[in-house]
Amino acid sequence: MDPTRELLDQTLLKIAIASYVTGALTLVAYFLARRPALRAIGLPLAVLGGGVQLVELAVRWWMTGVWPLTNLYGSLSLFSACGALIFAFFAYRYDLALAGGPVLSVCAIALSYATIWNEGTMPAVPALQSYWIKIHVPIVIAAYASFMVAFCVSLLYLFKDAVERRYGTRPPVVRGAAAAAGGSAAGITVSAYAVQPTLTTIGTGTPARRPGETALSDAAAAGDPIAQWLAGLPSLGRLDVMQYRIIAVGLPLLSLGIITGAMWAKEAWGAYWQWDPKETAALVSWIVYAAYMHLHTRPDWKGRRTAWIGVLGFATIVFCYLGVNIWISGLHSYKM
C-alpha cells in the first residue's frame, strides 16, 4: 500500500479503537452511575466504532483489490465490528446498554490484538481464492461476535445472581417506608433504581420471584445503597432471555457457517468434512450451544446453569477461533 492509503487505513483503525475504548469507559460509567446521558454517549460510540471498522475493511479491499478477510487481522477486525454492532442492536432494541462495558472492552482488545497480526496486504493462497470466502467467513465471524455478546450478558447474569444469592443468605432487613406502604409485601417491585420496568408496573403479573430477589428488593427498600444499585440491574429472568435471544442469533449463524464451510471444503478439498481441527472445534462449539438450547427448555436448568453453559460455549469459541488458528496446525492455519 502506498503511504497515503496506509495513512487512511491507520487513521480509520485509530478512530475505531478510540471509539471502543471511550465507549467501553462510558458504558462502564453508565453501569455504575446509571446516568442516561452516559448511555446516550456510549451507544453511538459502539455504532461509530463498528461502522468505521467496516469502512476500514472496505477501504482496504478497494485499495488493494484483495479481500480483507484472508488473515487473522482481517477476521479479528470484522469480529470487533460485528460485536459492537450486534451489541448496539440489542442495546437499542432491548435496553441492554448495561452490558456495553465488557462488550466494547473485548472489541477494543480484539482489534488491538489484531494489529499484531497485520503484516500488510498479501494475496490469498490458492485455497482461499474462492467466492465462498465472501460468504463463509463473514457468517462465521458474525456468529463468534454474537456469542461474545451473549458471553458478556452471561457474566452480568452470574454477577447479579451471585449478589442476589448473597442477599438471600443475609438475615431479613427491617423494611422502610415504601415496604410499609405495602409495596414489597404485595410483591410489587419497589426500587429507587427502577430503571427496568417490570410487568408489575403496568398491571400484569411476573413469574414467581426468587428468595434472593425478594431479599434484594427488601434491602433496597430499607435504604441499602448497594442493594438499590443492584436492584436497578435487569432482572435475572430478563438477562436470561437476553442471553437466549443473542445465542438464538449466533447458533443459526454458526450452523450456516459450518454448512457453507462444508460446501467450500467440498469444492476445495474434495470432502465436505475432513475432521480438520478448525471444523471439529466449531462442531464442539455447536454442540455446546445446541445443548444450551435444549437445556434452556428445562425449568431446572434455565438460569444460572445455562448462563454457565454460555460461558463454556464462549470458551470453546475462543479455542476454535484463536487457539486452533495459532497453536494447532491444520487446513485453516491462515495466521498471516
Q: Enumerate binding residues for other proteins (CB under 8 A).
A: 94, 118-120, 122-123, 125-127, 129-130, 132, 186-188, 197, 199-200, 202-208, 237-238, 240-241, 244-245, 248, 251-252, 255-256, 259, 262-263, 266-272, 275, 277, 280-281, 283-284, 287-288, 290-291, 293-299, 302, 316, 324, 328, 336
Q: In terms of CB distance, is 22 or 206 closer to other proteins?
A: 206
Closest by CA position to 335, among listed 128, 138, 140, 107: 128
CB atoms within 10 A of CB 211: 12
> What is the nearest approach in angstroms of other proteins to the Cβ of residue 156?
15
> What is the nearest approach in angstroms of other proteins to the Cβ of residue 245?
8
Q: In terms of CB distance, is 4 or 297 closer to other proteins?
A: 297
Q: In terms of CB distance, is 160 or 296 closer to other proteins?
A: 296
For residue 303, report the phi and psi dihedrals to the nearest 5 degrees: 115, -120
Q: How far is CA 2 from CA 8, 60, 310, in A?
A: 10, 12, 44
> What is the nearest approach in angstroms of other proteins to the Cβ of residue 237?
4
Q: In terms of CB distance, is 26 or 316 closer to other proteins?
A: 316
> What is the nearest approach in angstroms of other proteins to the Cβ of residue 186?
5
Q: How far is CA 135 from CA 86, 260, 308, 332, in A?
A: 18, 7, 31, 16
Tell me the three cell numbers of residue 257. Answer: 457457517
User: Whole-angstrom Cα distance, residue 2 to residue 63?
Assistant: 9
Q: In terms of CB distance, is 28 or 76 closer to other proteins?
A: 76
Do 292 and 253 form a contact (C-beta atoms < 8 A)? no
Tell me the three cell numbers of residue 133. Answer: 470466502
